[in-house]
Amino acid sequence: MHEGNQILETINIGLVILDRYLKVTAWNRWMAYHSGIAEDVIIGRPLLDFYPNLGGPKYTRFIMSVFSFGNYAYFSQKLHRFLFSMNNPHVSSDIIPIMQQNCTAGPIRGRNGRIEQIFIAVQDVTENVINEMRLREKVIQLEEALAKVKMLEGIIPICSYCKKIRDDKESWHQMESYISTHSEARFSHGICPECYDRCIDEMMSNPTSPKR
Amino acid sequence: MNAENTFMTLLERDALQEIMNISFGQAAADLSDVMNLHITLTVPRIDVLQFSEVCDCIKDDISRSNSDISMVKQFFSGKFSGSSVLIFPHGEGQKLLRLFDENSDQLTGAQYDMDVLEKEALIEISNIIMGACISKIADLLSDVVSYTPPRYYAQEQIQRILEESFALGNSFAIFFKTVFHFNDFEASGFLFLISNYETLEWLKMAIEDYLKEYA
């Protein structure tokens, strides 16, 4: 097999070559596998027989700009989703049934420099699209979560003795009540070792005082 | 302009203007055909400039647009080689998005931000416009050119890229400017082609051949 053909057959992108009448002159194994159309079935036949939608304006623009101007043309997944309708071969087929594609077309010139054929390279970007979708969902979830979080920030005026906190309406509140109202924090009450020792000392020195 | 007189005779200058008029006329016709839209290109302005003047020249031209512009830049190489720069004033990309919105729900499905879609649309359209104009000039001068993929720039990137791209102070460039207009979408933009210094000598020879054949 010719070196070029070996690359054509084994490369992990779709490669199609069309002549000026849009007849298929090359259809690599990747295209055959994903389209379900065998090479010997499509070679020599007009592409539009198999993909009639490619006669639409955006497809014509993509293909004819290469034949007319000899530049590379780009068919972006973000704008067009796909060029060739093929099943999504990944596990994400429930979410996106059709394979998402970025496509590039370029000229193939004959010996006289005239553009006689064009190639179309098809890149499967479905997994990238799925990852972008997941990323967008996560961003939305994070934004929603962030909106729920009540933030305590700035300088909080607190009584040096009783530890009550003054709000913006000049009212004083118990610290637990203030923080619970202005954040998602909740309190569970206990006693630290220093306070425990102090309380025991107080109770022992004054046994008649009420127990807390 | 002094540089122009140094590098080109009056006859060569007129021939180049004629070549550009024909090329851009054909490009507009072919663009309308391929894109199925009515597109007009103004008669191109041609200047021979010092490379370092190119950036200021582009900035002068686009200064009347608002600051929030988009730029698509591409290199082309053949015997005729250089850079092409397309500038779209703010909002034009969104107008041109309608060109891709054949199924009305497809683009408004909100899978992507409008900024992303606008960028993709401008790259795709720019690539076709630049290809059309350059290929027609190359055809007329019997040259074949190839292109690098177009790159998109926005806001503060533009100034930096323009300054970096055209910083070679001692060489000269031929500077072509046209304004294109998509009549159906009321959208316009600027196209600048800046030839490399190496192209100048070839261009003079190609003009000479052109004059022999047509003059």
A138 occurs within a structural domain: no
Q: Tell which residue, A84, A58, A63, A76, has the closest CA to residue A19.
A: A63
Work out the pLDDT band at B142, boundaries 50, 70, 90: confident
Residues on B contacting A at a C-beta cutoff of 8 Å: 30, 33-36, 100, 102, 106-107, 111-112, 116-117, 120-121, 123-124, 127-128, 130-132, 134-136, 144-145, 147, 149-150
Whether residue A70 and residue B102 make contact (CB cut-off 8 A), yes or no, is no
- The residue behind tokens 């979708």 is A133
Q: Do residues A110 and A155 both lie within one domain?
A: no
Of A102, A129, A156, the one marking the end of a domain is A129
Q: Do residues A16 and A97 both lie within one domain?
A: yes
Q: Do residues A49 and A122 both lie within one domain?
A: yes
A136 occurs within a structural domain: no
- Residues of chain A contacting B35 with CB distance shorter than 8 Å: 61
Q: Do residues A10 and A110 both lie within one domain?
A: yes
Please report, in tens digits, the pLDDT of each residue of chain A (212 residues total): 778 788 888 889 999 999 999 999 999 999 999 999 999 999 999 999 999 999 888 898 899 999 999 889 999 999 889 999 999 999 989 999 999 999 999 999 998 888 999 999 999 999 999 999 999 899 999 988 877 666 666 788 899 999 899 988 889 999 888 888 877 778 888 888 888 888 888 888 876 655 55
Q: What is the pLDDT of residue B65?
A: 64
The CATH number linked to A63 is 3.30.450.20
A141 occurs within a structural domain: no
Structural domains in chain B, CATH included, are: 2-214 (3.40.1550.10)
The residues pairing with B200 across neighbouring beta strands, listed in sequence order, are none
Q: Do residues A26 and A98 both lie within one domain?
A: yes
Q: Do residues A109 and A196 both lie within one domain?
A: no
- Looking at residue A37, the DSSP 8-state letter turns out to be -
The pTM (predicted TM-score) of the whole model is 0.77
A139 occurs within a structural domain: no
Q: Tell which residue, A171, A68, A82, has the closest CA to residue B30.
A: A68
Q: What is the rounded CA–CA span in Å between residue A55 and residue A47?
A: 9
A110 occurs within a structural domain: yes
Q: Do residues A32 and A89 both lie within one domain?
A: yes
Whether residue B121 and residue A64 make contact (CB cut-off 8 A), yes or no, is no
Counting the structural domains of chain A, the total is 2
**Which domain range does residue A119 map to?**
3-129
The ipTM is: 0.81
Tens digits of per-residue pLDDT, B64-84? 666 678 999 999 999 888 999
Q: What is the rounded CA–CA span in Å between residue A132 and residue A26?
A: 33
pLDDT of B106 > 60? The answer is no
The angle, 0 to 180 degrees and rounded to 10, between the axes of the packed helices B10-35 and B197-214 is 90
Say if A20 is an interface residue toward chain B (CB within 8 Å). Answer: no
If residue B73 lies in a helix (H) or strand (E), which one and from where to where? strand B70-77
Whether residue B34 and residue A61 make contact (CB cut-off 8 A), yes or no, is yes
A143 occurs within a structural domain: no
Q: What is the rounded CA–CA span in Å between residue B147 and residue B78?
A: 9
Q: Do residues A182 and A111 both lie within one domain?
A: no
Work out the pLDDT band at B152, boundaries 50, 70, 90: very high
Q: Are B134 and B148 in contact (CB under 8 A)?
A: no
